[in-house]
Amino acid sequence: ELKVEQNPLFLSMQEGKNYTIYCNYSTTSDRLYWYRQDPGKSLESLFVLLSNGAVKQEGRLMASLDTKARLSTLHITAAVHDLSATYFCAVDPGGTSYGKLTFGQGTILTVHP
Amino acid sequence: NAGVTQTPKFQVLKTGQSMTLQCAQDMNHEYMSWYRQDPGMGLRLIHYSVGAGITDQGEVPNGYNVSRSTTEDFPLRLLSAAPSQTSVYFCASSDHRGRNTEAFFGQGTRLTVV
């Protein structure tokens, strides 16, 4: 059974600081997603990571994937208040289970002035 | 391009009532799924479909039924609502045909069972 664990679950940051959210998963996967969710809203796709060593960057967010360690990271650089949201990683096992995403618990990020 | 459309956005049900949550996508995606989101638990897969006429159970299927008669639509039925089904429900669709494809989510249905 695929398990996905994120940490930390709660993250309070000061503006301008850097931090990393970790996503560990228990079995091999086809792809890994990072999503952002604002309160009361749907999930907004941030990154899709397909292969070992994949790194993607968008603005102050950078995601990476290490399939050997079964670990993905979401790095936040010089945080700003607008990044306050809940961030989820989700793993797609692929194969006959393609599209059956297993989500982490989510990381609630609050950026303070 | 509408993407994934869910209706209704909000619903209050009494225990024992039935209802159908609607989900439609206009991207010709093969794969559609339903998730529920509860505080502190992320999203959990309820039911899943790989195409018209084909459905499968996810992690938390009890109390829910699905069918998929067309590529576009994937309704979720609650036959006899229970307070434990109070949650936010998301429908998603995805396409297996490309390596850079992603899963798209609807806006969600917030369901309260009293």
* End-to-end Cα separation, chain A, in angstroms: 41
Q: Which residues pair with B105 in a beta bridge?
A: B92
| pLDDT-derived band at B42, boundaries 50, 70, 90 | confident
For chain A, the residues whose C-beta falls within 8 A of a C-beta of chain B are 4, 9, 33, 35, 41-43, 45, 48, 50, 88, 90, 92, 98-106
**Each residue's pLDDT tens digit, B55-99:** 999 999 999 999 999 999 999 999 999 999 999 999 999 987 766
Three-state helix/strand/coil letters over B64-113: EEECCCCCCECCEEECCCCHHHCEEEEEEEECCCCCCCCCEECCCEEEEE
Q: For residues A33 and A41, what is the distance between their CA atoms, to the nearest angstrom?
A: 18
> Which neighbouring-strand residues pair with B65?
B77
Which residues pair with residue B78 across a beta bridge? B19, B64
Q: How many C-beta neighbours within 10 Å does residue B6 have?
A: 21
* Nearest-by-Cβ selection for A103 from B43, B101, B104: B43
Q: What pLDDT is stored for residue B95 in this prediction?
A: 83
| pLDDT of the residue at A94 | 85
**A103 contact residues in B (CB cutoff 8 A):** 35, 42-44
- Give whole-number Cα distances, B48 to A19, A98, B61, B91, B92, in Å: 35, 10, 10, 10, 9
Q: pLDDT means per 10 residues in chain A (113 residues)?
A: 94 95 92 95 93 91 96 96 97 87 96 92
The whole-number pLDDT of residue B99 equals: 64
